[in-house]
Amino acid sequence: MSIDLKQFHQAFFDESYEGLDSMEQSLLALSDEDETDPELINTIFRAAHSIKGGSATLGFGEIASFTHVLETLLDEVREGQRKLTAESIDLLLQSCDALRAMVHCLEQETPIDVNDSKPLLDAFEAMLNDSGQSAVSEPQQKEVQKNLDDSDATVISSAQDAITQTFFSGDDGEQNDDHGEKRWKIVFKPEPQILLTGNEPLRIFRELESMGDLEVHAHTDQVPNFDQITLDECFIHWTLFLTSNVDQDEIKSAFDWVLDECDLDITLSESGDDDTVDTDDNVNTETRLQQDHINLDNRGDEITAEDDYGESASDDLEFVRASASVVAAKVIPEKTTAKKPEPSAAKSTSAKAISESKAIADKKVTAPESAQSSTTSIRVGIDKVDNLINLVGELVITQSMLSELGNNFDLEKLERLSHGLEQLKQNTRELQENVMRIRMLPISFAFNRFPRMIRDLSNKTGKKVDLIMSGEQTELDKTVMEQIGDPLVHLVRNAIDHGLEMPEERRAAGKNETGKIHLNAEHKGGNIVIKISDDGRGMDPEKIRAKAVEKGVIDAEAELSVAEIYDLIFEPGFSTAAEVSDLSGRGVGMDVVRRNIKALGGRIEIDSEVGRGTKIYVHLPLTLAILDGQLVRVGREVYIIPLVAIVESLQIKSELVNRVSGNMVLYRLREDNVPIIPIHKEFNIQADNTALDNALLVVVEGEGCKIGLLVDDLLAQQQVVIKSLETNYKRVDGISGATILGDGSVALILDIPGIITNASRSRRRNVSPRAA
């Protein structure tokens, strides 16, 4: 029975991404230092190594072979045989990207586009070959190199590849290059007690696999009946075929540990030798994979014959080979990218391989289909989990104490009961806080991508940039984090592209040639504030204003404060602005940035000084699941107003109320005129008090304007857990969600921006017939 390796895939993907991230960070750290820190090299090496190990185990040949080359290079660096140049760091960084793309392909279950990694592999090869002491003797190295040289069409240099290659060279005669590879036949008959000495044949096979292409055939004919099986004895023996240019001793070395516990026979088998060894169906996965290869082999001629895509036969074969390894790696289960399934291909696996190859030949393998977004996982520090376990323990103790108390209760125990309940309340609150904390991640997760990005951008633009990050440990909800990444990237890129000047310009302005970008995150009153500041040229409000007038975003006479002018760059119409020397592009996509941040319940502010730089503040809520709310009562209903939206609450003074045009009622709040929206009218419910005099008004802000909500009573302020109405019902105008109050009843959370837009719409509706 084979273990379903699929269950480990997600873990591998997660680990790979993580490994690649740490690799990237270490590389960047390396590039900043003059002295090579061996620990950094080790980190990079370890990351590459574990990705290689994992991918080989799971059969992702493309990644394994790619990381193998990477590892060889890194190994030399580690051994001190090679210096890491800026150029090689660049290459390694690019290979991180390439690997990330590959892992992404695997995750999306789309074929890996090997063309991306080929130039990188070439470059690595060149680098390895350049130096005298490089490890070219490494067998796979050569193989990789050969493959690359031989074919321009593809590039898969995986282990499985070579096997197909040998097969095809027999079939077709086009691939008759001599690879200097020998085909070894290894008969491995372990003695039954081999497992007792802690040896594991699978490990040996894996080692062999690293030498070249391995075919494993298991012979299970000696396996006794089930009732006679002893668990710790090995009844299987194997025939292995290794296609590689290693010599006999090297192969033998793999069996070093078991030499005296097995019959081992290593012979050179002739190419074209009988491939099909009697195999049981009951073989391990690897064997089965190999069978797929054989099937493929048998189909070889048909594929070539039916090639109606105008590709040369050899190309096509290359594609088949490429997909063969993909199939062998079981990367593409059940999914058919097939446009035209080959009728001749009976075996589903080979059919898949062929159609895959056609698809590739068709060059129709485009962007990976999205969707399929698998469940995301989250890494939680063990201390957080321990904390939770402690709290749950406490909770259990409290619970048992309470039930004990309830068993034979009399009034004398009342005090203990209230004490117990108090404790329960405490436990629950702590548990809630801790559970919420699990979702919180340090913002460094979002910040980590910036050093790399800035390095790339500064190379590209020729600007010198110094990135300073602070407050990376500030924690933020995972959902918020995922959605804030892209807007932040946009803002940082803008700051470099348009904020910072070229070195000469900076020098002329009397500034340091190297520009500074400062990223800072901090808690501020229940919010997270992310500040992105640069010391570039800043923005000129007058120019923005002129541009906005020209674009028709504002009227020429409009009186705007400086802050309002800066706000203009978030206007959708502004983003298409044609180039103005020093704000060109500033604002491209800025409306999207603002929309994204608003969707998260946050807001964005700009502060800029001409010649001194720009500061952008992004305010975000800590979490999306809980909000601070003000409970208000209207008639018999209780509503919740998000505290962040509230400007102030006041008692209406009738002399400040102005009625304008019909049913519009304005309240004079210092220099502002705030329209009064009676909630009871808006929601068509009964209220205690409909008169404005002395009534309570909650002034809220959203969508850039203020309104006053007329309520009957202000109740408590409390944190509420947001529940969606859409789960079981649908979106309701003016309501953003619901929550459950302490007494178990449901209260609705008001959607302040929604109410404001609604109100202004109905106002317009009321006005227009009058105007007509």
Partner 1 sequence: MSNQSQEYLTFLLDGEEFGVDILRVQEIMVWAPVTAIPGTPEYLRGVINLRGVIVPIVDMRQRFNRAPVEYTDTTVVIVLRTSESDSGVVVGIVVDAVSEVYKVDPVNIKKAPDFGNQIDSRFIFGMATVDDKIIILLDAKKLLNVNDLYSVVSHVRPKIGEPIAS
> Residues in the site for partner 1, rule: CB under 8 A?
637, 682-685, 723-725, 727-730, 732-735, 738, 740, 744-748
Closest CB to partner 1 among residues 92, 632: 632
Query: DSSP secondary structure string, 370-404?
Result: ----PPP-----HHHHHHHHHHHHHHHHHHHHHHH
Residues 732 and 699 sit within 8 Å (Cβ to Cβ):
no
CA–CA separation, 499 and 118 (whole Å) = 36
Minimum CB separation of residue 109 from partner 1 in Å reads 23
Query: DSSP states of 66-109 as a string?
Result: HHHHHHHHHHHHHTTSSPPPHHHHHHHHHHHHHHHHHHHHHHHT
CB of 684 to partner 1, least distance (A): 6
Q: Measured from the CB atom, is 254 or 750 closer to partner 1?
A: 750
**Which of 217, 97, 146, 163 is CA-nearest to residue 329?**
163
Identify which of residues 670 and 730 has a Cβ nearer to partner 1 in the complex.
730
Residue nearer to partner 1 on the CB measure, 363 or 765: 765
Helix (H, G, I), strand (E, B) or coil at 114: helix
Least gap, CB of 511 to partner 1 (angstroms): 56
Of 603 and 723, CB closest to partner 1: 723
For the record, the structure tokens of 319 come out as 């594609």
The Cα–Cα gap between 326 and 6 comes to 14
Shortest distance (Å) from residue 619 CB to partner 1 = 28
Taking the complex as a whole, the smallest distance from the CB of residue 740 to partner 1 amounts, in Å, to: 5
Q: Considering the complex, what minimum distance in angstroms separates the CB of residue 732 from partner 1?
A: 5
Type of residue numbered 578: A
Smallest gap from Cβ 643 to partner 1, in A, equals 21
Give the nearest distance from C-beta 133 to partner 1 in angstroms: 60
- DSSP E strands in 411-509: the ranges are 440-442, 465-470, 475-477
Say if CB 620 and CB 476 are below 8 A apart: yes
Instruction: Decide the pairing of beta strands 672-678 and 705-711.
Output: parallel
Min dist. Cβ of residue 108 to partner 1 (A)? 24
d(CA 183, CA 269): 5
How far apart are alpha carbons 597 and 532 in whole angstroms?
14
Compare residues 226 and 729 and give the one whose CB is closer to partner 1. Answer: 729
3-state helix, strand, coil in the chain (%, to 5): 50, 20, 30
- Partners of 698 in the β-ladder: 649, 709
- Beta strands of 567-671 (E only): which ranges? 603-609, 613-621, 626-634, 637-642, 646-651, 657-660, 664-669
| CB of 209 or CB of 682, closer to partner 1 | 682
Residue 667 · residue 659 · CB < 8 Å: no
Question: Measured from the CB atom, is 363 or 730 closer to partner 1?
Answer: 730
- The closest of 451, 581, 571, 580 to 505, measured between CA atoms, is 581
Compare residues 173 and 744 and give the one whose CB is closer to partner 1.
744
Of 13 and 683, which has the nearer Cβ to partner 1?
683
Cα separation values, 613 from 121, 524, 543, 579, 590, Å: 42, 23, 15, 19, 18
Least Cβ distance, residue 743 to partner 1 (angstroms): 10
Cβ pair 594, 449 in contact under 8 A:
no
Other Cβ atoms within 10 Å of 301 Cβ, number = 12
Nearer to partner 1, 616 or 738 (CB): 738
Closest distance of CB 433 from partner 1, Å: 18
